[in-house]
Amino acid sequence: RLRALNRLQVILQHLKMSKQTDSTTEVLLEKKGGAGIITLNRPKALNALNLSMIQQIYPQIKTWEQDPETFLIIIKGTGGKAFCAGGDIRAITEAGKVGDKLTQDFFIGEYRLNNAIGTCKKPYVALIDGITMGGGVGVSVHGHFRVATEKTVFAMPETAIGLFPDVGGGYFLPRLSGKIGYYLALTGCRLKGRDVLKVGIATHFVESEKLPALEKDLIALKSPSKEKIADLLNSYHMKCTIDQEKAFVLDEHMEKINSLFSANSMEEIVKKLKQDGSPFAMKQLETINKMSPTSLKLTLRQLREGASMSLQEVLRMEYRLSQACMKGHDFYEGVRAVLIDKDQSPKWKPAALEEVSDEFVDNCFKPLGKDDLKL
């Protein structure tokens, strides 16, 4: 009987292990040399983050942070197309429709992870090769080093789906030079390759095919300090000549961006764009007119307030906003129009900026008492 019991335990243990590897294959967590390596491994979903991935990465970062044998943390994505295209929006939408608490758990988990990265004592290197949007920005931009390549595509496209540029967007976007963060947040403008470095999202630029060699060299560093890691990244960065001569894509528009997007209200930004009348301004107006009016108002205020807040205060504020969006109309409608039916014609409610009252916006920012995000 004992042997049968033992055999049963072995089988159960094996099943438990295989179940673990099934869920853990979405994210690989391994230690190589002095480096902890996080590999986002959902290539078919463009490495979008789901709750189980977040729940595996967070404790691992905390463990590595305390481990005297871990000197740096590297995060990357598989599949060659994306670093991480965002959060698992579909799952959140389904949950929200049936009142499942994933709509809270996901954002709590994600923002705690963003904070863990932002406060990490070990050097954190994100290899943002390919599409890096939304949640993918959240697991990279708050770390010490972000290495872009010619394949990097950066965007915070949330206003198009009735959300707002979260994951700490209220912290890093208003801190970019001039009003470019406001422009990126409201229009969802995409930046590619070297432009991601020029705007201040990436810290280094390296050829995509050189990343495996860079990773190897990072792993081989003996008890590296932040300075040693920076030196290594700089040496790769200096050798990369791709698009070196190319001017920043928004260079010629920076003056306009800084003046047009410095207005205090969305209505005023729209008015300024109309008055300007240039092809650039008209194009931005057309883009903004497609976005959720509610999202635009929440986003502008989020960035204006976030400009003088700590990352922790911003994440707390963004959690409040996330829960307001989960209770609203536009997020579900935006996801339907952009990701599910793909008809690209969302019916926003309210449909015009003028109809989104200050009182409504104020309410979205109100503390949630015992339900506020705890970091």
Domain locations along the chain: 27-244+252-371
Nearest to 49 by CA among 72, 81, 21, 77: 77
Residue 2's pLDDT band, with cuts at 50, 70 and 90, is low
pLDDT given for residue 11 in this prediction:
64
pLDDT given for residue 147 in this prediction:
98
Residue 19's pLDDT band, with cuts at 50, 70 and 90, is very low
SS3 237: helix
What share of the chain has pLDDT > 70, as a percent?
94
pLDDT given for residue 207 in this prediction:
98
**CATH topology for the 27-244+252-371 domain:** 2-enoyl-CoA Hydratase; Chain A, domain 1 (3.90.226)
DSSP secondary structure code for residue 248 in this structure: P
What is the C-alpha to C-alpha distance for residues 101 and 319, in angstroms, rounded to an integer? 14
Nearest to 142 by CA among 307, 306, 310, 311: 311
Structural Rg of the chain based on CA atoms: 22
Query: How many angstroms separate the most distant Cα atoms in the chain?
Result: 86
CA distances from 204 to 44, 94, 200, 220, 327 (A): 27, 38, 10, 19, 39
pLDDT given for residue 23 in this prediction:
54
Q: Which two tokens stand for residue 195?
A: 């432009």
Residue 5's pLDDT band, with cuts at 50, 70 and 90, is low
What is the C-alpha to C-alpha distance for residues 149 and 50, in angstroms, rounded to an integer? 25
pLDDT given for residue 143 in this prediction:
98
pLDDT given for residue 49 in this prediction:
98
Residue 18 has pLDDT above 50, yes or no: no
Residue 12's pLDDT band, with cuts at 50, 70 and 90, is low
> Tokens 């243990």 identify what position?
13
> Known catalytic residues?
87, 135, 158, 166
pLDDT given for residue 22 in this prediction:
54
How many Cα atoms sit within 13 Å of 160 on the Cβ side? 19
What is the C-alpha to C-alpha distance for residues 347 and 332, in angstroms, rounded to an integer? 10
Q: Which two tokens stand for residue 366?
A: 């109100």
Mean pLDDT (whole number) for 97-123: 97
Average pLDDT, the chain: 95
Mean pLDDT (whole number) for 123-129: 98
> How far from chain centre, in Å, is Cα 13?
36
What is the C-alpha to C-alpha distance for residues 239 and 219, in angstroms, rounded to an integer? 20
Mean pLDDT (whole number) for 251-276: 97
Is the CB of residue 216 less than 8 Å from the CB of residue 179? no
Question: What b/e readout covers 194-204, taking b as 16+ CB neighbours within 10 angstroms?
Answer: bbbbbbebbbb
pLDDT given for residue 223 in this prediction:
84
pLDDT given for residue 229 in this prediction:
98
pLDDT given for residue 267 in this prediction:
98
Q: Bigger pLDDT: 10 or 63?
A: 63
Please name the residues in contact with 347: beta carbons below 8 A apart, sequence gap of 6 or more: 333, 337
Residue 7 has pLDDT above 80, yes or no: no
Number of H helices, E strands in the chain: 17, 10
Ramachandran area for residue 170 (φ above 0: left; ψ -120 to 50: alpha; else beta): alpha
Q: Judge residue 354's burial from the number of C-beta atoms within 10 Å of its C-beta, 0-12 exposed, 13-18 middle, 19 or more buried.
A: exposed
Residue 156 has pLDDT above 50, yes or no: yes
Q: Which two tokens stand for residue 282?
A: 């008209």
Give the torsion sign (CA, 212, 46, 160, 368).
negative
